[in-house]
Amino acid sequence: MARRVLALTAREAFHQLSRPGVHEVLRGDLALIGLPGVVFTPRAGLGLPAVAFGHAWLQPVHRYHGLLRHLASWGIVAAAPATQGGPLLSARLLAPNLGATLDVCTGVRLGDGEISVDPERLALAGHGMGGGAAVLAAADSERARAVVTLAASETHPSAVDAARRTSVPGLHLAAGKDRIAPPVAHAEAIAQAWAGPVQQRLLDKASHLGFAEGRHWSELLLDGRGERAAQTLAKAFTTAFLLRHLTGERTYDALLDNDIKHAALAYQRGPLRIRRSAQESQV
């Protein structure tokens, strides 16, 4: 008997996914098993999906704890390596660190042995240069089933070139007020070069640092600051996209298929049909 999908409007899906999920969340230290960083997991679950997240330039991983915790509350193991934290961040080196993070998640029984990750349900994500590193890692590995970037930055080697070799589904959230990595030259270029199914959205009110939580001294050097609205949109869209492509969950498809206020669909290519309403959904 076919599974019945509960249809939600884009607005309903957004409001559900912008709130924590039903799972109690545990936090762990990746350094205890050989890699500096942090991991958030549901309290229990076998064969769970997992995502490795790359931080932006000069941004400590604690600025993404809210996003990682949110994903874990929805049943997704979420980990971030705390490497390449200095001013000379190398996306070329951060990319294999993301791969190593997935290795840790799949190769070690987490928690008290009640948590395991399915190696067929893995994703990569990142912010800024960490987003570019996620693209590099996805292009060089066949393990990831999906990629999400937040205000992605072009990197060396080129994330745009790597996108041409990346055939898994990609979601790219660009910041409309980004003066560090302007969307046209960075997130939009990556999305348009993407080899597989891809969606790019423009968060028109967001700055480059809007996705980073709390305050940090780097805001004295870089443009923008943490913005709750950008973080809430990132939580909802990232959760919907990963649930869709890692677990087959289609309850929240309307959020991915329609325009949302301050997160309009800017570019789409791939098999998923876009069902736009006559007017923007108001959130």
1 lies in some domain? no
Residue 98 has pLDDT above 50, yes or no: yes
Total number of domains in the chain: 1
5 lies in some domain? no
More confident residue, 154 or 216: 154
- Residue 97 is encoded by which pair of tokens? 């660190």
Per-residue pLDDT band for 275 (boundaries 50, 70, 90) equals very low
276 lies in some domain? no
2 lies in some domain? no
Q: Which of 70, 78, 73, 64 is nearest to 226 (CA)?
A: 64
Work out the number of other CB atoms within 10 angstroms of the CB of residue 4: 6
3 lies in some domain? no
List the single range of 137-141, 237-241, 275-279 with lowest mean pLDDT: 275-279
Structure confidence by residue, pLDDT tens digits, 15-31: 999 999 999 999 999 88
For 83, the domain range is 10-269
283 lies in some domain? no
Residue 276 has pLDDT above 50, yes or no: no
Burial call 183-208: b when 16+ CB within 10 Å, e when fewer: beebbbbbbebbebbbbbbbbebbbb
Per-residue pLDDT band for 106 (boundaries 50, 70, 90) equals very high
Residue 51 has pLDDT above 60, yes or no: yes
Q: What is the CATH number of the domain that holds 254?
A: 3.40.50.1820
Helix (H, G, I), strand (E, B) or coil at 221: coil
257 in Cβ contact with 43 (< 8 Å): no
pLDDT at site 108:
76
| 260-268: average pLDDT | 93
List the single range of 154-163, 226-235, 269-278 with lowest mean pLDDT: 269-278
pTM for the full predicted model: 0.92
37 lies in some domain? yes
Does the CA dihedral 281-231-65-208 come out positive or negative? positive
281 lies in some domain? no
- Residue 41 is encoded by which pair of tokens? 């997991």
More confident residue, 82 or 5: 82
Structure confidence by residue, pLDDT tens digits, 188-226: 999 999 999 999 999 999 999 999 999 888 888 888 889
